Structure 1
Amino acid sequence: MFQNQRHTMTSKLFTPVLIFLLLFVGCTTKDKTKDLAKKDAKNTSPNIILFVSDDHGTDAIGAYGNKVIKTPNLDQLAAEGVRFNNAYCTSASCAASRSVILTGLYGHATGSYGHVHDYHHFSSYDNVKSLPVLLEKAGYETARIGKYHVAPESVYHFQKVLEADPRNTVEMAEKCKDVLNSEKPFFLYFCTDDPHRGAPFQSDPWYLPNSFGNKKEGYEGVETVTYDPKDVVVPDFLPDSKETREEIAQYYQSVSRIDQGFGKLMKMLKDTGKDKNTVVIYISDNGMAFPGAKTTVYEPGIKLPCIIKGPLAGLKGGSVNNALISWTDLTPTILDMANVSYDSNAFHGKSFKKILAEENPKGWDEIYASHTFHEITMYYPMRVVRDKNFKLIRNIAWRQEYPFASDLWAASTWQEVYRSEKEYFGKRKVKDYLFRPEFELFDLSKDPSESHNLADDTNYKDVLEALKVKMKAFQKETKDPWLITWDHDNSLQGTGVNL
């Protein structure tokens, strides 16, 4: 009897212990399976290199049709991947544009209205979730090198900050060796200072070209590639003058330095054996640093290079894509490429991963732009909608003179026209460049140089009104404070009282 009781008691004690052990083993096995799956996902996730140049337009890359400039490595990237013909930044200003690249949100919605440095001191709201932070959370090693120009650091945090001369892209590439050899998937944010204008911005005498970072003694490890001013291609929005040609020759030289560093980085990547599992993206923050491009929302200021290659389904080398994409699309696209789940409603842009291999994808025929400041003294908010071939610009502060960035004002390209009191700057009259109407409407299919404003043409009245409606809706949807400038619409404004 005692034995039976003991057996019964033992059974009663053993049952919960057994259940616990089974549950523990089951959970442990499940956890291990989850860990292995997570480890597996990390091992198969592609590496991401986002290479961002500073003030580089489509005008100065061989792959985009320039037969003079030497950019063999960028041309090779295009030959191995896809070249976008209609890629747009949203603000043709360095800091404002970079905030969009790393958040997928328009600057007017994050407080990134203009420059970060010196007394400008613009900064993103501290609740913004940036691309490097989201990728780190997903298990990526994140690293940056070169130009940063966003704030605060807590929002745009990278695990590793690498140091090198941002004008020497070969040196920059060499400093990335450890990141390229990372055991984890990596996100490398590689940002040059080239081909931004070099300091000092004001030449003495005034007619000398800016250096664009070039030095007579050159840079260690970099071959100095020079250009004869008579050979350069002068875009039609610039005056074809001696001063312009000399500055473009310096600009080209700076771009060729970028190309060499990019080539060095690609060779190093290939040497690691990871090139087949790495997405490489080449873009710029805004157009060339010449009046009529940078700080404007005309095509030379915001229509930019975008070349992508990588282990992406259906992507064939040497392909082109005519979709209208925006830098607000970059963060969701990169997260998509990295197989990181995200809330699509958290971004103003959308992933274009699925349409990479399509030349003329449907539904990608509209973009928006939003520029407010460059320097803090340059208040000139502009909003843009492009719908297929029609483009509407609203110059919100149209009653004031268009403000110049300090480096562009000092440019010999501008000073030659200004000091000579010439009537035209490129295809535009100087007075029309400085004093703009509230609305500028262009048909880019017939007028790619944006020379003929159709806003007052009664034949385009319906087009104008339709684009105004789209612009207002865009501003409301993206919580643009400047919505109030339409009929004093204060629907986005709070009470001003902390409840």
Structure 2
Amino acid sequence: MLVLGLSLFVILAGPASAAPRNIVLFVADDLGQQLGCYGDPVARTPHIDALAREGTRFAWAFCTTASCSPSRSVILTGLQNHANGQYGLQHATHNFGSRPFVRPLPLLLKQAGYRTCAIGKVHVQPEELYRFEKYANDGIIDGGRHAVRMAENAEQFIRENDPRPFFLYICPTDPHRAVQGFANERAYPGVQPEKFDPAQVPVPHYLPDQPEVRQELAEYYQAISRVDQGVGRLIAGLKATGHLDDTLIIFTSDNGPPFPGAKTNLYDAGTHLPLIIRAPGQELRGVVSQALVNWTDLTPTILDFSGAKPPAYALHGRSLLPILQTPSPEGWDEIYQSHSFHEVTMYYPMRSLRTRQYRFILNLAHPLPYPFASDLFDSPTWQGVLARGDRQYGSRTVAAYVHRPRLELYDLEKDPQEIVNLAEDPAYAKTVSGFQEKLKAWQKETGDPWLIKYEHE
């Protein structure tokens, strides 16, 4: 499925030898589309917005799974997590990891002559597969919350006396939840705290409009502002070192907001994310792409730009470089998603096909109650629901959220909030049957171990 097109860099910037092909991949943690450039009315993200004006903003970009480690493994391998083996979280007792055959970006780019550096959260394993040449974590980045300091470390790495092109992987922990709140009580030198009025923040449809929810959202927006200031400092460093115009910059997130109803779900709330790409030689700026893309496309894009040799096996995505300057390219009208775990106790495999009009979900363990991530369960948002005994949770009932059918089908044109399940509606029987066939064929094509479920149902 890997398609490597002629690099935009080569097409617009001349021969490959004209300049180094540097790469920056910036991955925020639990950031949805709460950005000014995506139309959010209160977000203060001037630097990310400026990046969008300088490059291509993808309006319909999706992670393949709304879980940290599995999503990051997809970003770094171009393989669905059910194929690369990183089914769930990497750290602590969860201990999921990719299979030995996998050849991630740090390895492929090193073999292509790149110097590689990771700053912040990597969150995949085994280390010998995902090893970067350098980790620029100097002990003063506050667990990944200080994105400005991380960007300063990035500039130091760029300035090292090394003629090789660089691959820089920057992953702040913001705006992920902290043990309590969003780590806004700390001071971060060089970061201007941005406070938000809980009464003014928009409450998304999947959350109840309650005081504790608004308070958490206000704190979430403050954490997002730190990410934005880190992006601003990164761009300043690239300018100062003379590398802004020879560096491919990709800005994105691993999954959606850290609230029940978004993170760990395959609904749009958890998987419809920001993706901004600024490429050297890009003549058309401020492009808004309508292509449906997902994170399996990121590794092919980077390999295309770098000229690095792809792995021997087929990847699951396509390079985005050939469509960066085409707002509505043909053949980019559907994406596939795969989720199996988050924490080790959170077994709930789901597979999904999303088109422009429909979302189809296969819940492979549907008799089980839908599991909660521990930090989401403990959040003031969900604890408030439990304390009040609420039956309604945002636009869904609590019962519908926790107990899900085997099949879900939503008409996104009529029902963008994905509430009215049409899977059992006779009028949609042919649509359901067609999606089931396509999803199963895709599972076979991508080597999904959960195909065995078909033999027992």
Counterpart check, 1:448 vs 2:421:
no
The equivalent position to 1:394 in structure 2, one of 330, 340, 362, is 362
Assess if the C-alpha contact under 8 Å between 2:103 and 2:311 holds in 1: no
The one-character-per-residue Cα deviations of 1:89-138 (angstroms, maximum 9, x if unpaired) are 11100001000000000111121100111111101112210011111111
Pick the structure with greater CA Rg. Answer: 1
Deviation at 1:306, TM superposition (A): 0.1
Q: How far, CA to CA, are the matches of 2:428 and 2:20 in structure 1?
A: 49
Name 2:119's counterpart in structure 1: 145
Distance in structure 2 (CA, Å) of the matches to 1:42 and 1:167: 38
Alignment-derived partner of residue 127 in structure 1: 101
Q: What is residue 244 of structure 1 aligned with on the other side?
A: 213
Cα-to-partner distance string for 1:220-250 (whole Å, 9 max, x where unaligned): 1111111010011111111111111000000
CA drift at 1:416: 1.3
Report the Cα distance in structure 2 between the residues aligned to 1:379 and 1:333, rounded to whole angstroms: 31
Q: Does the 8 Å CA contact 1:196/1:213 hold for their aligned counterparts?
A: no
Q: Secondary structure at the match of 2:37?
A: helix
Structure 1 residue 41 displacement after superposition: 4.9
1:91 matched residue in structure 2: 65
1:311-350 alignment to 2 at 5 Å? 311-314=280-283, 316-342=284-310, 346-350=314-318
Structure possessing the higher relative contact order (Cα contacts under 8 Å, 6 or more residues apart) = 2
- Amino acid of the residue matched to residue 84 of structure 1? F
Sort the Cα spacing of 1:43 and 1:213 in 2 relative to 1 into closer, same or farther, 3 A: farther
Distance in 2, matches of 1:152 and 1:267, equals 34
2:49 corresponds to 1:75 = yes
- 1:179 corresponding residue in structure 2: 157
Identity across matched positions, percent: 50
Distance 1:68 1:125 in 2: 42
* Corresponding residue number in structure 2 for 1:23: none
Q: How far is 1:341 from its partner?
A: 3.9
Residues 65, 264 of structure 2: 8 Å contact kept: yes
Q: CA deviation at 1:387?
A: 2.8
* Segments of 4+ moved more than 6 angstroms: none
Paired residue secondary structure (1:267): helix
Q: Residue 325 of structure 1: CA displacement?
A: 0.6
Q: Is the 8 A contact 1:392 1:440 kept in 2?
A: yes
Question: Is structure 2 residue 326 aligned with structure 1 residue 358?
Answer: yes
Whether the aligned pair in 2 keeps the contact of 1:279 and 1:310 (CA below 8 Å) is: yes
How does 1:398-413 map onto structure 2 within 5 Å?
Answer: 398-413=366-381
Q: Distance in 2 between matches of 1:344 and 1:252?
A: 42
Change (3 A) 1:402 1:142: same
Aligned residue among 214, 233, 252 for 2:184: 214
Measured in 1, the distance between the counterparts of 2:363 and 2:229 equals 39
The residue identity in structure 1 corresponding to 2:452 is: I
1:154 CA drift (Å) = 1.1
Q: Which residue of 2 aligns with 1:46?
A: 21
Decide whether the 8 Å contact of 1:45 with 1:339 is kept in 2.
no
Q: CA deviation at 1:192?
A: 0.5
Instruction: Determine which of 168, 193, 213 is the counterpart of 1:224.
Output: 193
**Displacement after TM superposition at 1:424 (Å):** 0.8
Q: Distance in 2 between matches of 1:391 and 1:453?
A: 10
Report the TM-score when normalising by structure 1: 0.85
Match of 2:341 in 1: 373
Q: 1:191 aligns with which of 154, 171, 179?
A: 171
Structure 1 match to 2:445: 477
Of residues 68-77 and 164-173 in structure 1, the stretch that sits farther from structure 2 once superposed is 164-173
Structure 2: 5+ residue stretches without partners: 1-14
Post-superposition CA distance 1:176-211 (Å, at most 9, x none): 1232225321110000000000014xxxxxxxxxx2
Structure 2 distance, partners of 1:345, 1:176, is 32
Q: SS at 1:485's partner residue?
A: helix
Paired AA for residue 187 in structure 1: F
* Partner SS state of residue 154, structure 1: helix
The residue matched to 1:189 in structure 2 has which SS?
Answer: strand
One-letter code aligned to 2:169: Y
Q: 2: CA distance between counterparts of 1:387 and 1:254?
A: 32
Match of 1:384 among 352, 355, 379: 352
Structure 2: how far apart are the matches of 1:116 and 1:274?
33
Offset of residue 42 of structure 1: 6.4
Contact persistence 1:114–1:375 (CA under 8 A): yes
Q: Which AA in structure 2 matches 1:296?
A: N
Change (3 A) 1:131 1:284: same
| Matched positions, count | 437
Query: Distance between the aligned counterparts of 2:438 and 2:248, measured in 1?
Result: 34
Report how far residue 395 of structure 1 moved. 0.9
Aligned to 1:256, which of 225, 248, 265?
Answer: 225
1:239-318 equivalence runs, <5 A:
239-314=208-283, 316-318=284-286
> Normalising by the residue count of structure 2, what TM-score does the alignment of the two structures yield?
0.93
Secondary structure of the structure 1 residue equivalent to 2:129: coil
Structure 2: how far apart are the matches of 1:350 and 1:45?
23
Matched residue, 2:9? none
**Structure 1 portions without partners, runs of 5+:** 1-39, 201-210, 490-499
Matched position secondary structure for 1:398: coil
Tell me if structure 2 keeps the 8 A contact 1:96–1:115. Answer: yes
